[in-house]
Amino acid sequence: MKLEGYTPSMRESIERVVASRPARLHVDYPMLSPAEKQEILRKFHPDYIPEGMRELRVGPNKGGRTPNELADLLEGHSRLSSVELDLEKIDLDTDVLIIGGGGAGSAAALLAREYGAKVLIVTKLRHGDANTMMAQGGIQAADKENDSPVQHYLDVIGGGHFTNDPDLVEALVRDAPEVILWLESLGCMFDKHPDGTLVTIHGGGTSRKRMHSARDYSGAEIMRTLRDEVRSYPEDITVIEFAPAIELLMDDKGQVAGAVLLNLETEEHYVVRAKQTIIATGGSGRLHYMGYACTNHYGATGDGLVMAYRVGARLAFIDTMQYHPTGAAFPEQIIGLLVTEKVRGLGAQVLNVHGEQFVFPRETRDVESSAIIREVKERGNGVKTPSGFEGVWLDSPMIDILHGPGTVEKELPAMVRQFRRFGVDIVRDPILVYPTLHYQNGGIAIRPDCTTDIPGLLVAGEASGGVHGRNRLMGNSLLDVCVFGRRAGRTAGQRFREVQLGKLTLAHVEAWERELAQAGIETEVQSPLLLPDYTRHGR
Ligand code: MEZ
């Protein structure tokens, strides 16, 4: 098969990009003022499209707004509505049940085990099929001499527009240096200088270089490390794959007491009883909010939010999603896939069809994305692809010009390969990009020890809400899954021995169905969704 790469009209635009390079070598576009940032967000960020969201009519967040796709699921019927289950027949009994086999779930399992708990991880797909695996650019931690957790704290709060839960941010930045040491001790191979010190670079919104990376597959390296470690304790940690939780179980004392699983192969249901239950189900990018393509793994359908909502857990910041500024816009086959922020961290600039800069390359993600959307949709300065999709250039060759030949190949091997498969050489030519749905900024409200308002229920990672406020900074999600995964595991490990479970019940599901009926909600939606429905939406 002959791979075509860029078309002649795209090549004409690339010539203008090349021509503007000398002038851009030492001059970056200025950052926007705080007032300009607010203005551009209000006008162009997808969170502000009024018809994309609606008010919830039932549940703890009644009256609050969330994207239509998530609202439909939160207001859906239980998958158990027409299933007869014998809750006296316990299929699996454990101290700590962890729902989700990504970074947060795996980190939680390791810590709970350290405290002597028997742990069961259940996961919808395979262990490690998770957004953790797909994060590329790095993990933040203030562990260099010119940096401090306080500095990190200020960046996180500024990036979140001062809306973050301060106690959660404190937990995040305080634990960060220890998390890096912990991961290294488990065998995680971060990039290092010849003298053995860790390489750190900038991300959007960071005032210090504190991004630790493993080339551009940092998440895969962290996930590999955590999964290997979990798998080395089979006597304490059991992993069941292809068996998503579809409803939480409670007991007659009002505690969360496990979950009902669905075996995706046999369609059997399993009753799992647990003294502590940790939701670590990740995000919901596969709901394709506002019609956006996404960077997420196939199972990212917000299942944990739905289950937690039904037992009365409050959600925080679920009216804000993260659109990563640089999703692939060409070729068609990979539209929406992540082009890591590390590309901009290494000095690549963002340019319009005329080869002009129009935004500082390391604004926070929400602002950077809004500026790209404005450039394409309002100013008409996008680069058109043969299928009619439009994007802007991310000038990757600038990296070798700034840091020396071979840097792109060395620092971004996954990116080089992702595009080379389709005849695009990002060492020589820029990358066409457009914002893509990347992250669920909010989720189930937690405390710093990962507990929720519902006894027995803990949450960690992307399924939780509060730490990032209205916008997360790059590298704080890999950090979040490790920090709060560990904290959730520790809390569960410290608590499970004190828990006396009562009789298992699904009375909350019956109450939920009554609430739907009382609110006059007529819907055919059953949730959690489990897998994206591409036949219905044609994506
Ligand atoms: O934190 C992230 O979302 C991340 C590391 C993504 C990236 O651009 O590489």
Q: Determine the distance separating the centroid of ligand 1 and the alpha carbon of 234, expressed in angstroms.
A: 31
Report whether residue 341 contacts ligand 1, using a CB cutoff of 6 Å: yes
Question: How confident is the model at residue 299, as a pLDDT?
Answer: 97
Can you tell me whether residue 435 is helix, strand or coil?
strand
Q: For residue 167, report the phi and psi dihedrals to the nearest 5 degrees.
A: -65, -35
Q: Determine the distance separating the centroid of ligand 1 and the alpha carbon of 167, expressed in angstroms.
A: 23
Q: What is the mean pLDDT of residues 351-355?
A: 98
Question: How confident is the model at residue 104, as a pLDDT?
Answer: 98
Q: Determine the distance separating the centroid of ligand 1 and the alpha carbon of 58, expressed in angstroms.
A: 34
Q: Whose CA is nearest to atom 2 of ligand 1?
A: 474
Question: How confident is the model at residue 538, as a pLDDT?
Answer: 47
Question: How confident is the model at residue 539, as a pLDDT?
Answer: 45
Q: Determine the distance separating the centroid of ligand 1 and the alpha carbon of 342, expressed in angstroms.
A: 8
Q: Determine the distance separating the centroid of ligand 1 and the alpha carbon of 25, expressed in angstroms.
A: 25
Q: What is the mean pLDDT of residues 423-430?
A: 97
Query: Whole-angstrom Cα distance, residue 285 to residue 53?
Result: 15
Question: How confident is the model at residue 469, as a pLDDT?
Answer: 97
Neighbours of 11 (CB within 10 A): 11
Q: Whose CA is nearest to atom 5 of ligand 1?
A: 137
Vertex 166, ends 160 and 169: CA angle to 5°?
70
Please tell me which residue in 288, 324, 468, 495 is annotated as part of the active site: 324
- Residue range 94-123, pLDDT digits in tens: 999 999 999 999 999 999 999 999 999 999
Contacts of residue 140, defined as CB under 8 A and 6 or more positions apart, other chains included, come to 152, 176, 203, 206, 210, 211, 212, 473, 474, 475, 476, 479
Report whether residue 286 contacts ligand 1, using a CB cutoff of 6 Å: no
Q: What is the mean pLDDT of residues 30-42?
A: 96
Question: How confident is the model at residue 26, as a pLDDT?
Answer: 81
Q: Whose CA is nearest to atom 9 of ligand 1?
A: 137
- pLDDT mean across residues, the chain: 96
Instruction: Band the pLDDT of 82: cuts 50, 70, 90.
Output: confident
Q: What is the mean pLDDT of residues 383-392?
A: 96
Question: How confident is the model at residue 537, as a pLDDT?
Answer: 52
Question: How confident is the model at residue 276, as a pLDDT?
Answer: 99
Q: What is the mean pLDDT of residues 372-396?
A: 97
Instruction: Band the pLDDT of 408: cuts 50, 70, 90.
Output: very high
Q: Determine the distance separating the centroid of ligand 1 and the alpha carbon of 364, expressed in angstroms.
A: 12
Portion of the chain with pLDDT greater than 70, in percent: 99
State which ligand 1 atom lies nearest to the alpha carbon of 439. Answer: 3
State which ligand 1 atom lies nearest to the alpha carbon of 477. Answer: 1
Q: What is the mean pLDDT of residues 80-94?
A: 95
- Residue range 274-301, pLDDT digits in tens: 999 999 999 999 999 999 999 999 999 9
Neighbours of 355 (CB within 10 A): 20
Asked whether the predicted pLDDT for residue 23 surpasses 50, the reply is yes
Q: Determine the distance separating the centroid of ligand 1 and the alpha carbon of 508, expressed in angstroms.
A: 37
Asked whether the predicted pLDDT for residue 1 surpasses 60, the reply is no
Question: How confident is the model at residue 204, as a pLDDT?
Answer: 86
Report whether residue 326 contacts ligand 1, using a CB cutoff of 6 Å: no
**In a mutational test of the pocket of ligand 1, which residue from 436, 474, 477, 478 has the highest number of ligand atoms less than 8 Å from its CB?**
474
**In a mutational test of the pocket of ligand 1, which residue from 338, 480, 482 has the highest number of ligand atoms less than 8 Å from its CB?**
338
Is residue 324 part of the annotated active site? The answer reads yes
Asked whether the predicted pLDDT for residue 2 surpasses 60, the reply is no
Q: What is the mean pLDDT of residues 470-488?
A: 97
Is residue 344 part of the annotated active site? The answer reads yes
Instruction: Band the pLDDT of 61: cuts 50, 70, 90.
Output: very high
Instruction: Band the pLDDT of 534: cuts 50, 70, 90.
Output: confident
**In a mutational test of the pocket of ligand 1, which residue from 477, 479, 480, 481 has the highest number of ligand atoms less than 8 Å from its CB?**
477
Asked whether the predicted pLDDT for residue 3 surpasses 90, the reply is no
Residue 469 one-letter amino acid: G
Asked whether the predicted pLDDT for residue 71 surpasses 80, the reply is yes
Please tell me which residue in 344, 470, 472, 486 is annotated as part of the active site: 344
Question: How confident is the model at residue 203, as a pLDDT?
Answer: 87
Q: Is the previous residue joined to 455 through a cis bond, with omega within 30 degrees of 0? A: no
Question: How confident is the model at residue 292, as a pLDDT?
Answer: 97
Q: What is the mean pLDDT of residues 398-405?
A: 97
Q: Is the previous residue joined to 331 through a cis bond, with omega within 30 degrees of 0? A: yes
